[in-house]
Amino acid sequence: MNIIDLHCDALLKLTTLEAASFAEDVRMHVNHKRLQLGQIKAQVFAIFIDPEIPQNQQFLEVIRQMEAFHTHVLQTEGMVHITDWAQLELLAPHEIGAILSLEGCGAIGEDLTKLTAVLDAGVKLVGLTWNEENAVAHGAEQEASLGLKPFGKEVIQILNDRDIIIDVSHLNEQSFWDVLPLAKHIIASHSNARALCDHPRNLTDAQAKALVKHGGHIHVVYFPLFISEQDATLEQLVDHVEHLAHLVGVEHIGLGSDFDGIGVTVKGLAHAGEAQNLLEALRTRFSAEEVQGIASQNFKRYVKKAATR
Ligand SMILES: [Zn+2]
């Protein structure tokens, strides 16, 4: 069964691992062979810039990762750059969609030209922060009471004008609440339920409900420490799906692995090639149709709706 995965950090590995290759490099959770094996029909590739990199070098890293997306990912036979959501429905059986996202706006500083340049390059989802504070807003590791900044409103305006999906997964609580009423298209690309795992990267029940009320979807993340602890199981990840499904409706849930951005993995879900194991686990508690929704159909419906709003 086909999967659409809303988050991975393969571009970071492609630009930092020595002699990395997208074809079947086993150091990559996400490579072409594993995407095929796991029946990943479309994969979001995040541009993630380590906030430790000096500000004046960060945008160069953005360009390096976009270059890696072109030279490694898109040069692989069958990988198709999704620049229009309608393309998701047009992929041939052997083709896999590749989608760009920007994980945090730190690298653009206070320069909207850098933002629009990234959007012109085909970025379809933008997270306003990673865990840090930047010129736009405050991230998950910042004090919960500090929120969106005035420059952030300008950024949101541009994202709304271009129908870009705003990703709230890394925002702290106040930024989340500030962004919610302003964002035209909103999603949590890789977050779980804080009621089951108390981590600032996860959504409280109130956040999850409000997000979906504003038209958003929640994509659960496979990182053990956002599920429960180091030795988290597939069943515990399914617990998160079940909790969120009861809260907001299973038709608003999807998947966002965070592969290549995580140092530990769930047993049975060690890389993209094992993604079908999660669907197997989901089938023990959800109908075939519901699992298909979680795997890909809910997101397809989301973007179809987004295109007509
Ligand atoms: Zn992340």
What gap in Å lies between CA 256 and CA 212, rounded to an integer? Answer: 17
What gap in Å lies between CA 147 and CA 141, rounded to an integer? Answer: 12
Output the CA 259–ligand 1 centroid distance in Å: 10
Give the chain's mean pLDDT.
97
Output the CA 8–ligand 1 centroid distance in Å: 8
Domain limits of the chain?
1-305
Beta bridge partners of 219: 254
pLDDT band for position 268 (cuts 50, 70, 90): very high
Output the CA 10–ligand 1 centroid distance in Å: 12
Output the CA 102–ligand 1 centroid distance in Å: 10
Output the CA 261–ligand 1 centroid distance in Å: 7
pLDDT (mean) for 198-212: 97
The reported pLDDT for the residue numbered 307 is 65
Output the CA 257–ligand 1 centroid distance in Å: 10
Q: How far is CA 268 from CA 231, 235, 252, 281, in A?
A: 11, 11, 25, 10
In the predicted structure, residue 230 carries a pLDDT above the cut 90: no
Output the CA 189–ligand 1 centroid distance in Å: 8
Output the CA 169–ligand 1 centroid distance in Å: 7
Element (H, E) at 36: helix 32-37
Instruction: Determine which of 51-65, 130-144, 271-285 has the lowest per-residue pLDDT on average.
Output: 130-144
The pLDDT tens digits of the residues spanning 184-195 come to 999 999 999 999
In the predicted structure, residue 309 carries a pLDDT above the cut 70: no
Instruction: Determine which of 30-44, 242-256, 276-290, 295-309 has the lowest per-residue pLDDT on average.
Output: 295-309
Output the CA 285–ligand 1 centroid distance in Å: 27
Output the CA 241–ligand 1 centroid distance in Å: 18
Output the CA 236–ligand 1 centroid distance in Å: 20
Output the CA 48–ligand 1 centroid distance in Å: 8
Output the CA 190–ligand 1 centroid distance in Å: 7
Output the CA 145–ligand 1 centroid distance in Å: 21
Helix axes 234-248, 275-283, angle to 10 degrees: 60
Output the CA 308–ligand 1 centroid distance in Å: 28
- The answer to whether residues 7 and 219 touch, using CB atoms and an 8 Å cutoff, is yes
Q: Regarding the domain delimited by 1-305, which CATH topology (the fold level of the hierarchy) does it fall under?
A: TIM Barrel (3.20.20)
The reported pLDDT for the residue numbered 127 is 98
pLDDT band for position 144 (cuts 50, 70, 90): confident
Output the CA 40–ligand 1 centroid distance in Å: 19
Helix axes 205-213, 234-248, angle to 10 degrees: 60
Query: Helix, strand, or coil here: 253?
Result: strand
Output the CA 24–ligand 1 centroid distance in Å: 23
In the predicted structure, residue 306 carries a pLDDT above the cut 90: no
Output the CA 103–ligand 1 centroid distance in Å: 7
